[in-house]
Amino acid sequence: MSDLRATPERRARSRRAAANDVRLRSAATACVLQRGWDSVSFLGVAQEAGLTTRPMYDRFRDISDIGVDLWRTEAGPQLGQALDALLTAALDRADLAQTVLAFEPFIRPGDGLSVAAELLAAAPYDDQLAATIRDSAPMAAVTRCQVAADRTPTQAAQAAYLVICAVGLLMLRTRPRAATVDVTADVAELLQAFQNPGPIAELPEVQAPHMRAFVADDPDPKVSAILTATLTAIAQRGYTGATTDFIADAAGVSQGAVFSRYGSKLQLFIAATARQQATAFRANYRLTQQLVAQLGPGRAEATMFREWLRPEHQPGRALVLEQLRLSWHDEIMSAMVEDLESSFMAEISPLQSTSHQHRVDDHLFWSLALGQGCNVMGVLVPNAWELPMSVVTIPLMERTP
């Protein structure tokens, strides 16, 4: 049997290993923040840390292992603490000032929560990372989104709604509006809805084919085929996994036909995103308006939550997260997505008076966050679609002025 006593040499080696753990973790964080999760490599992290790649291979089998380590040691615990503080302030104390303050780390996050956002957005295309996020979940907040013997469906739905709001704001942290947004009015209305929960309403089955089909129409059938194949491939495989060769085959064209129109895969994805998001925004709005006319705004909103959170719509949610993730690190994609959102929100904004414009802008930003939060909720709580969101949306949207 070998001698495992802590000799001076063993202690020194252990101290060096612990120091390298910290250096590599810090370097990996820096790489994620500077260039995004897709840019992380063994060589890049080692160079950022000022080390050779040997310590990387000693610790990690692949890039997924790096993400798992970052989630378990830093990103996950920090996200859990922030969510726990939010749910305590909002649900246990119903304290407006504390709840507004608890939202702050999501709106203007530090490095740990920013890395958490990157990992959550990447998880749909990384099974190991997704499993770690779901299974390690040391977050009491995530547990509170599950119905249990000591937790009613109403309580679980309220917790889930808060988590959706929070992670959605985190996903929008790079938007210019995040620097000035004031969520106080929306939070006040939400707390009031929590204090007066609505009924667990029976919701109708609806047809929402636009949530499953990725279509980018163009007068040129060949362009339509290329853009639609791009969206479908990236929804299924992620941006990195969807090669231009695969996209060309799916579109029934040559790679030359793709590159004669688009100089790079990124340009191709930006063009496809511009077509798809404009169509999706309006399709969602039309469906919502139809449901409002049939059910009223609260039940309509709950129905839309349920539909988008359904498991079969995971590819659509993942596609939106890929579009968002690239917008964090590419100025052209960022500008295009922000312009699309701004123009659409301007179309549907019910208030035009400049005296209310700041409040309108804050509320629209909050609404965008709800959509992005649903995209992430499928990663954190896959069965969230079963929760009765009507207990929140009915008192929130049908309150008496």
Burial of 401 (C-beta count, 10 Å sphere; 0-12/13-18/19+):
exposed
CATH number for the domain including 275? Answer: 1.10.357.10
Does residue 114 lie in a domain region? no
Region 82-86: what's the mean pLDDT?
A: 96
Residue 198 has pLDDT above 90, yes or no: yes
Q: What is the tens place of the pLDDT at every residue in 3-47?
A: 434 444 445 557 888 899 999 999 999 999 999 999 999 999 999
Q: Whole-structure pTM over 0.95, yes or no? A: no
Does residue 397 lie in a domain region? no
Q: What pLDDT is stored for residue 1 in this prediction?
A: 37
Find the domain containing 43 and state its range.
8-60
Q: What is the DSSP string of 226-239?
A: HHHHHHHHHHHHHH
Does residue 2 lie in a domain region? no
Domain count, the chain: 2
Domain stop point among 21, 45, 60: 60
In this structure, is the dihedral angle defined by the CA atoms of residues 372, 373, 378 and 380, taken in order, positive or negative? positive
In this structure, is the dihedral angle defined by the CA atoms of residues 140, 141, 142 and 147, taken in order, positive or negative? positive
Give the separation between CA 271 and CA 385, rounded to whole angstroms.
31
Give the separation between CA 233 and CA 246, rounded to whole angstroms.
8
Does residue 219 lie in a domain region? yes
Does residue 126 lie in a domain region? no
Q: 353: pLDDT confidence band, cut at 50, 70 and 90?
A: very low
CATH number for the domain including 27? Answer: 1.10.10
- Asked if 129 and 71 touch (Cβ cutoff 8 Å), the reply is yes
Does residue 393 lie in a domain region? no
The interaxial angle of helices 244-251 and 265-295, nearest 10 deg, is 60
Does residue 143 lie in a domain region? no
- Asked if 282 and 344 touch (Cβ cutoff 8 Å), the reply is yes
Q: Please report, as a single letter, which amino acid is at residue 357.
A: Q
Q: What pLDDT is stored for residue 350 in this prediction?
A: 56
Does residue 121 lie in a domain region? no
Residue 315 has pLDDT above 70, yes or no: yes
Q: What pLDDT is stored for residue 71 in this prediction?
A: 95
Q: What is the DSSP string of 351-392?
A: ---GGGHHHHHHHHHHHHHHHHHHHHHHHH-TTGGGS-THHH
Give the torsion through C-alpha atoms of 146, 386, 134, 281, to 10 deg: -130
